[in-house]
Structure 1
Amino acid sequence: MESLLLASFVAAFVLATVHVFAGRLRRLNRLPRSRWLSMAGGVSVAYVFVHLLPELARGQAVMEGSDIWVLSYLEHHVYLLALLGLASFYGLERLIKEHRRHLPEHAESHAGVFWLHIAAFAIYNGLIGYLLIQGENSSLTTLVLYCVAMGLHFLVNDFALQNDHKGLFRRRGRWFLAAMPLAGWTLGLATEISELAVSALTAFVGGSIILNVLKEELPEERDSRFSAFLLGSVGYSVLLLSFQGN
């Protein structure tokens, strides 16, 4: 148990370093979109569909047995929470893109818009760090698979946020986001939540991941690499399924 706890801390530290050092990989931040970022997005989506969605199915059974009237009222509550995560970040993305449309190409975002965006991703990163301990990572294997998928996802998010906020993100935002997986891990160490709450958080994070990956892959101007995205998603799916079979 202690070794798994230590491994989860190492995983939180690794996730934190992604935001610290991602800016040095400037060759990835170009058009047409780097095939490495497309592959990273494919890995993240594969993790959601092959690992998290089955967890959501189990979480649905937990919620259906709940005595909480709000949850018993909703027929597919866990999937609605995933939809809420997706819709929340979609609405935020539309706000940011509308804001950028009225700014010169290389101008930094206004402070209020910037901190709203960063605050949303800070909570998101904190939840991902929290689930390192409180989630379904009951073995070193599942913990490593989670860390790899979320680390690559953070890399995709980092370049998206740099494109949105320019130097303001590099100077301030990335440090704040880097601290949040460790903050979430610490909170997870200090508190314990019910299986119902874990299912709810997992659902919200899963829906958010899907939106945050696809919003970077789908726009035509990104000129994304479908072959790299497919390789990442298929390859990581095979890896996940091989470990699930053991």
Structure 2
Amino acid sequence: MLALVLAVVHLSARRMVFLESIPRSKFLSIAGGVSVAYVFIHILPELKEHQESIAESAEILSFLELHAYLIAMLGLIIFYGLEKAVQDSKKKNSDTENKPGRSAFWVHISSFFVYNGLIGYLLVHREESGLLNLLLYGTAMALHFIVVDFGLREHHKDRYDREGRWILASAILVGWAIGAMSEIPEALLALLFAFLSGSIILNVLKEEIPQERQSSFWAFTIGGIGYVILLLSVG
């Protein structure tokens, strides 16, 4: 059910017309704060445990024994590179479509397909068990998807509405289905988990930091601190 809810978020986020404003909607800033809070309170602390899994894995992965955080940094760098490539493509097409080229669109959407698939997979395989922890994860990711969806629609416009949102919604269900039917090796999951944490941080901050967004620092802070308090109180 939660996988379906997350998929519906991608399909319906375009109807949240109140988000399309300058200054940036405070709801988006709050959602970004919640996403980052979940990464720092739940995902990053688990990287230490995942490092142990990597260390016990095949020799080809053992060199990463103490460097799960480097994989998180790699996730951040890769998604920053994708964002830069999309912006460059958009500038090249500014005289015609004012949106990235089709090849840039597919590279961007393909990367987020993997990204969403991993989030869907972690609905089944996470360190924390129990319904409450699942709901906390689902809430954080639903708010995160709204932030991501807003950014992708701003880049790709009608192309995202026609194709992108359906692909990303299906990615969540594909990831959940893979998780329900199988389990990937723990060492590989550790690397993907680390990669996801860096990616989430970048995908939130790239929407909050640009000056033209006129984002709300206080809304972002309230969202982050509020969710930290909630996570710690139930942890």
Consecutive unaligned residues in structure 2, runs of 5 or more: none
Q: CA deviation at 1:67?
A: 4.3
Q: CA deviation at 1:75?
A: 4.9
Work out which of the residue numbers 115, 136, 139 in structure 2 matches 1:145.
136
Q: CA deviation at 1:69?
A: 2.1
Does the residue aligned with 2:179 lie in a helix, a strand or coil?
A: helix
Q: How many pairs are equivalent?
A: 234
Does the residue aligned with 2:143 lie in a helix, a strand or coil?
A: helix
TM-score (norm 2): 0.95
After superposition, the C-alpha distances for 1:156-177 in whole angstroms (9 at most, x for unaligned) are 0000001100111011111111
Instruction: Confirm or deny that 1:221 pairs with 2:212.
Output: yes
Mapped to 2, the partners of 1:73 and 1:119 lie a distance apart of: 28
Name the residue aligned to 1:101. Answer: 91
Work out which of the residue numbers 82, 88, 93 in structure 2 matches 1:92.
82
Consecutive unaligned residues in structure 1, runs of 5 or more: 1-9
Mapped to 2, the partners of 1:187 and 1:78 lie a distance apart of: 24
Mapped to 1, the partners of 2:149 and 2:125 lie a distance apart of: 25
Which range is displaced more, 216-225 or 71-80?
A: 71-80
Name the residue aligned to 1:117. Answer: 108
* Distance change >3 Å, CA 75–CA 190, structure 1 → 2: closer
8 Å contact 1:63–1:77 — kept in the other structure? no
Q: CA deviation at 1:61?
A: 2.4
* Distance change >3 Å, CA 96–CA 29, structure 1 → 2: same
Name the residue aligned to 2:10. Answer: 19
Name the residue aligned to 1:7. Answer: none
Q: CA deviation at 1:60?
A: 1.6
Mapped to 1, the partners of 2:66 and 2:11 lie a distance apart of: 38
RMSD: 1.4
8 Å contact 1:134–1:198 — kept in the other structure? no
State the identity as a percent. Answer: 50
Mapped to 2, the partners of 1:242 and 1:154 lie a distance apart of: 24
Instruction: Confirm or deny that 1:76 pairs with 2:54.
Output: no
Instruction: Confirm or deny that 1:32 pairs with 2:54.
Output: no
TM-score (norm 1): 0.91
Name the residue aligned to 1:4. Answer: none
Letter in 2 for 1:140: L
Mapped to 2, the partners of 1:156 and 1:67 lie a distance apart of: 35
Q: CA deviation at 1:34?
A: 0.5
Name the residue aligned to 1:194. Answer: 185
Mapped to 1, the partners of 2:133 and 2:108 lie a distance apart of: 30
Mapped to 1, the partners of 2:140 and 2:12 lie a distance apart of: 17
Mapped to 2, the partners of 1:67 and 1:28 lie a distance apart of: 45
